[in-house]
Amino acid sequence: MATTKNILECLRCGTGYQDPWMFEGCPKCAEEGHNVNLSAVLPVGSETWPGFFRANEQPNGEPGWDGLWRYRDMMPVGHDYITTLGEGQTPLLRLENLGESLGMGALFLKDEGRNPTWSYKDRFCSVAVSKARELKAKVITISTSGNHGAATAAYAAKAGLRCVVFTIPDVPDTIKTLMQVYGAYLIVVPTAQDRWALMRQCIDQFGWYPASGYMNPPVGSNPWGIEGYKTIAYEIVAQLGGRSPEWVIVPTAYGDGLYGTWKGFKELKAMGAIDRLPKMVAAERFGPLARTLELGSEQVSQVEASSSVAFSIANGISTYQALKALKESGGLAITASDEEIMEMQKTLAASEGIYGEASSVIALNIAAKLRTQGQAAADDTVVAVLTSSGLKDTVATAEILPPPPQIAPELAELRQALEQTYDFTAELG
């Protein structure tokens, strides 16, 4: 299905394309040895801004669009195809307690664990699945280590489309259950490379619609879905009263969320809604982007990776789109260890009342490092994107908590249990 204007363009060479079914990156750059994602072309100019935060009513008297689809004019999908579970419009919370202990006066957390399937992937999947309906796709397929699969399965269910999910053994049971309960056909294969290869055959031979990346080396995911992440930027700016933070930290594997959020800020600047852009920071477990920046290379470096509590970002290779967001914004990439991450998960929950997935709380480890390494000033506004809820993997958390003491219902035993298990001795008479 060809149209007369370019609807996708290459993030590296700028070549425009008319075919909406391009999910393997720029063919021109691939010939030159670069694996680069395409990005949706939307008309963005200063004239777009006045109606941008428009009211959410629908003309036919149906309930209004809220959350992500409040920004439907900035999405690459016809309004008749919108598939929504109420994603977006998540809270931006000021972390007073944690911020004070880290010497940060304006530390904020964008709590994406509040989305319908408890991760920011819902923003991506709402747009990707809406586009699948517009393109008359019959079957949606995806390769995932967890959250992306759960979200795709849920939105495919809502859209009435079949969904085949490829995953690897090293995924928490909670997430496998989530994917299956939404009606997806969940298939486990030995390695990440295996799932990409099998998925690619299904796309080539059966015409299935991909909701994730499947190229090796990776280019990133379906460019239509990435547009959904722009709304994280829109919401942050709206929630900060119309200004941009100094820093935005995004847990990063292949950089769909990092690039999508960055694109949102750039659009706001182009529309004159903000006068300056934030620096984007990739929070990485193993650091392919950190390594690439260190080397000053245009090709993303491969680093060694192993299994990790941060299973959603336990990758040793990243993408051009992620690198582009970091370079354009003058940002950086920083890593944290499993031990640091689990400590932060506990600290965040116990000091702020927020339970984030290990792969998400790493954004706060990196916030702390920005401050201790001197990159962020004490009064800089720093936004950490908490990409997913801790409920996705309670088993890993339970391992760092003491078994709850079981006692006879007597004060003496209570006193002993509080002291011995929790070191709690005050306020006991």
The total of other beta-carbon atoms located within 10 Å of residue 172's CB is: 17
Min. distance of Cβ 9 from Zn ion in angstroms? 8
Q: Is 29 in the site for Zn ion (CB under 5 A)?
A: yes
Min. distance of Cβ 126 from Zn ion in angstroms? 28
Structure tokens at 147: 């959250």
Min. distance of Cβ 36 from Zn ion in angstroms? 5
Min. distance of Cβ 5 from Zn ion in angstroms? 18
Binding window for Zn ion (CB under 5 A); candidates: 3-11, 171-179, 292-300, 409-417: 3-11
Closer to Zn ion by CB, 229 or 320: give it.
320
Min. distance of Cβ 323 from Zn ion in angstroms? 14
Binding window for Zn ion (CB under 5 A); candidates: 28-36, 73-81, 120-128, 132-140: 28-36
Q: How far is CA 280 from CA 95, 147, 172, 268, 372, in A?
A: 19, 22, 29, 15, 18
Q: Is 28 in the site for Zn ion (CB under 5 A)?
A: yes
CB 258 within 8 A of CB 266: no
Min. distance of Cβ 30 from Zn ion in angstroms? 8
Separation between Cα atoms, residue 282 and residue 333, nearest integer Å:
5
Separation between Cα atoms, residue 84 and residue 133, nearest integer Å:
12
Min. distance of Cβ 250 from Zn ion in angstroms? 24
389 bridge partner residues: 356
Q: Is 298 in the site for Zn ion (CB under 5 A)?
A: no
Closer to Zn ion by CB, 28 or 346: give it.
28
Closer to Zn ion by CB, 17 or 49: give it.
17
Closer to Zn ion by CB, 35 or 308: give it.
35
Q: Which of 6, 13, 18, 428 binds Zn ion (CB under 5 A)?
A: 13
Min. distance of Cβ 28 from Zn ion in angstroms? 5
Closer to Zn ion by CB, 15 or 239: give it.
15
Binding window for Zn ion (CB under 5 A); candidates: 6-14, 177-185, 274-282, 301-309: 6-14
Binding window for Zn ion (CB under 5 A); candidates: 5-13, 96-104, 231-239, 398-406: 5-13
Min. distance of Cβ 13 from Zn ion in angstroms? 3
Q: Is 12 in the site for Zn ion (CB under 5 A)?
A: yes
Question: How many positions of this chain bind Zn ion (CB under 5 A)?
Answer: 6
Closer to Zn ion by CB, 35 or 388: give it.
35
CB 341 within 8 A of CB 365: yes
Structure tokens at 420: 């011995």
Binding window for Zn ion (CB under 5 A); candidates: 19-27, 76-84, 179-187, 420-428: 19-27
Beta strand ranges found along 316-386 (DSSP E): 332-335, 381-386
Q: Measuring CA to CA, which residue among 348, 346, 362 is closest to residue 396?
A: 346
Work out the end-to-end distance of the chain between its first and last CA atoms, rounded to an integer number of angstroms. 77
Separation between Cα atoms, residue 256 and residue 218, nearest integer Å:
11
Q: How far is CA 123 from CA 90, 102, 110, 118, 147, in A?
A: 11, 30, 13, 11, 12
Task: Note the residue count of the chain.
Answer: 429
Q: Which of 10, 157, 310, 341 binds Zn ion (CB under 5 A)?
A: 10
CB 116 within 8 A of CB 87: yes
Binding window for Zn ion (CB under 5 A); candidates: 26-34, 146-154, 176-184, 215-223: 26-34
Q: Is 157 in the site for Zn ion (CB under 5 A)?
A: no
> Residue 282 phi/psi, 5° resolution?
-90, 120
Side chain identity at 173, as an amino acid letter? D
Min. distance of Cβ 201 from Zn ion in angstroms? 25
- Measured on CA atoms in the order 259, 213, 121, 118, is the torsion positive or negative? negative
Binding window for Zn ion (CB under 5 A); candidates: 22-30, 157-165, 237-245, 382-390: 22-30
Q: Is 26 in the site for Zn ion (CB under 5 A)?
A: yes
Q: Mind giving me the DSSP string for 272-311? A: TS-SS-PEEEEEESS-HHHHHHHHT-SSPPP------S-G
> Residue 137 phi/psi, 5° resolution?
-70, 150
Separation between Cα atoms, residue 323 and residue 343, nearest integer Å:
28
* Residue whose tokens read 């003058």: 330
Closer to Zn ion by CB, 8 or 163: give it.
8
Q: Is 299 in the site for Zn ion (CB under 5 A)?
A: no
CB 285 within 8 A of CB 362: yes
Q: Is 142 in the site for Zn ion (CB under 5 A)?
A: no
Structure tokens at 146: 């967890």
Per-residue x/- track, 76-105, Zn ion (CB under 5 A): ------------------------------
Binding stretches for Zn ion (CB under 5 A):
10, 12-13, 26, 28-29
